């Protein structure tokens, strides 16, 4: 076999093991596990030794970020005081291939005495860990995916997929929505896209760049220049937005009229400009500005009565990581 053939052989083997294990997962045990986790009033303590422990750490993070509070409990450290983190309403989710690791078995013996429910994702249902489990979800493989059949590869893949599928099912049952996910991931791009509103990105250090329609061109230019936001919004007598004058509008007016100071605001402004209401998501503003035949660099933000509250810049949207 050449190098790529070795890669694809291992890859295909893990897919095969996943498909084979699917037939070993019983509906009754799966339903029991989901019922226990859905009714858990505490947290899910994910545990495992070695490579199974690494998968358990990942699953604890996945459960937590999808609406099921969880943490990782190291079997070895649990025997030296860390079992104190386990509270009476917590559920233990144990991952193991053989189910015979001394640290795992000793920990589960204490967990049984504490009265916590134990769900195990196991490769061996007849193991000591299996006999102490309230529910077993199978994660069994015929062999690992490495040439020596020694390194945890296919077995950890199956355990990971089983755990992720559990987390996904629970998230759906809990009605977990993108907004909830974003709340737990505020620094990520998805969090920003779902949580940031247009008001969050307004630059108001020099006030709102707005002038009335009867103002002079000198007043308009001062309003555009002072905050340096790239434009100014034009309002009628009632304070409602009726137009916008951008840096581009001013340049075009100079080319057209020469002495722009002699012109009226109405002659240089863009009437009935595109706008977005306060409370709207910043990502929606970005789409409005970019998904046009001619993209725009500034976008008025208005309140429910169409009064301008700020001018949003494309630059600030991009800088926010949207």
Domain-by-domain residue ranges, the chain? 3-176, 198-319
- Three-point CA angle 176, 178, 180, nearest 5°: 60
CATH class assigned to 3-176: alpha beta
**Distance set, CA 151 to CA 21, 59, 138, 154, 209 (Å):** 19, 20, 19, 9, 64
pLDDT at 253: 87
Note the pLDDT of residue 249: 86
Question: Same CATH topology for 3-176 and 198-319?
Answer: no
Please report the pLDDT score of residue 2 as a whole number: 85
pLDDT value of residue 203: 87
Q: Is 74 annotated as a binding residue?
A: yes
Chunk the chain into consecutive blocks of 10 residues (it has 322) and report each block's average pLDDT, rounded to whole numbers: 90 97 95 97 97 97 95 96 95 97 97 97 97 97 95 97 98 89 71 79 87 90 86 93 90 87 88 92 88 86 94 87 77
C-beta separation of 148 from 5 below 8 A: no
Please state the CATH superfamily assignment of the domain spanning residues 198-319 in this structure. Answer: CBS-domain (3.10.580.10)
Written as one string, the DSSP assignment of 22-40 is: HTT--HHHHHHHHHHHHT-
Burial class (CB in 10 A: 0-12, 13-18, 19+), 140: middle
Element holding 14 (H helix, E strand): helix 3-22
Amino acid 195: pLDDT: 73
CA-to-CA distance for 300 and 269, rounded, in angstroms? 13
Burial of 8 (0-12, 13-18, 19+ CB in 10 A): exposed
Cα–Cα distance, 67 to 44 (Å, whole number) = 11
């Amino acid at each position: 076999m050449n190098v790529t053939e070795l890669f694809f052989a291992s890859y295909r083997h893990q897919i095969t093991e996943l498909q084979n294990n699917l037939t070993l997962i019983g509906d009754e045990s799966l339903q029991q596990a989901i019922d226990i986790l859905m009714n858990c009033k505490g947290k899910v303590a994910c545990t495992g030794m070695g490579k199974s422990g690494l998968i358990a750490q990942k699953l604890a993070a996945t459960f937590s970020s999808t609406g099921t509070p969880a943490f990782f409990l190291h079997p070895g450290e649990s025997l030296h005081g860390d079992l104190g983190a386990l509270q009476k309403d917590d559920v233990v989710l144990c991952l193991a291939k053989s189910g015979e690791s001394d640290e795992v078995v000793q920990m589960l013996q204490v967990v049984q005495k504490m009265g916590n429910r134990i769900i195990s994702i196991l490769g061996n249902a007849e193991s000591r860990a299996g006999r102490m489990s309230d529910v077993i979800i199978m994660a069994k493989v015929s062999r690992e995916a490495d040439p020596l059949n020694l390194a945890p590869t296919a077995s950890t893949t199956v355990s990971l997929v089983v755990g992720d599928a559990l987390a996904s099912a629970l998230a759906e049952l809990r009605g977990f929505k993108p907004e909830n996910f974003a709340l737990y991931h505020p620094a990520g791009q998805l969090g920003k896209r779902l949580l940031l509103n247009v008001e969050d990105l307004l630059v108001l250090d020099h006030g709102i760049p707005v002038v009335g329609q009867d103002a002079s061109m000198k007043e308009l230019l001062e309003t555009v220049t002072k905050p340096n936001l790239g434009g100014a919004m034009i309002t009628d007598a009632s304070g409602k937005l009726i137009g916008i004058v951008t840096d581009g509008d001013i340049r075009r007016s100079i080319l057209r009229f020469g002495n722009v100071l002699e012109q009226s605001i109405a002659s240089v402004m863009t009437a009935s400009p595109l706008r977005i209401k306060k409370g709207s998501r910043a990502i929606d503003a970005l789409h409005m500005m970019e998904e046009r035949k001619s993209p725009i660099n500034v976008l008025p933000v208005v309140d429910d009565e169409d009064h301008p509250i700020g001018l949003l810049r494309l630059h600030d949207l991009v800088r926010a990581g949207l």
